[in-house]
Amino acid sequence: MNLKDIQARNSVIKKDHESLEKEIAEWREWWGELSELGSPHFGEMGDRVARFREHLAAHFEREEDEGFLSLVIDADRDAAPQIAKLRDEHAELLAALDDLIARLRRGDPVLDCWGRAREEFEDFIDRLNCHEEAEDALLEKLR
């Protein structure tokens, strides 16, 4: 694969990352509006998180299927263990969202506090941000 192809794929991944960041910002805005009203909406939150999960799964699939992770290995063989860890994290992150979505939709007593539900999602976002930053660092190796 030539440098132009690599740069094009990097651009797609970067746009995906920006789109996910925008969606997270919109979620936080919605959350703030509901907090002002003082009215929790667990079911709606579950639906919103489910849509986010779909977008995240598609993003992870593009990273894996379009060879982004393989490109890094080709550029830096020493990165193979880190790539394997990132691939594993894709499944772990999606499973964590699946669990949260299920609990939100069924009204899990552990999440009976609106603040607790938000805290769990924010913790997830922190994990996701760390993951994406690690991927971005690998992308930098391809430049």
pLDDT tens series, the chain, 143 aa: 555 766 677 777 788 888 888 988 888 888 777 767 666 677 788 888 899 999 999 999 888 876 666 666 666 677 778 888 888 999 999 999 999 888 888 775 565 676 777 888 899 999 999 998 888 887 777 65
Predicted TM-score (pTM) of the model is 0.80
Most distant CA pair in the chain, distance: 54
User: Are 128 and 21 within 8 A, CB to CB?
Assistant: no
Q: Is 38 left (phi over 0), alpha (psi -120 to 50) or beta?
A: left
CB atoms within 10 A of CB 49: 22
pLDDT at residue number 43: 77
Q: In the chain, where does DSSP find H-type helix?
A: 3-37, 42-65, 68-75, 80-106, 114-141
pLDDT at residue number 51: 92
Q: How far apart are CA 119 and CA 130, in angstroms?
A: 17
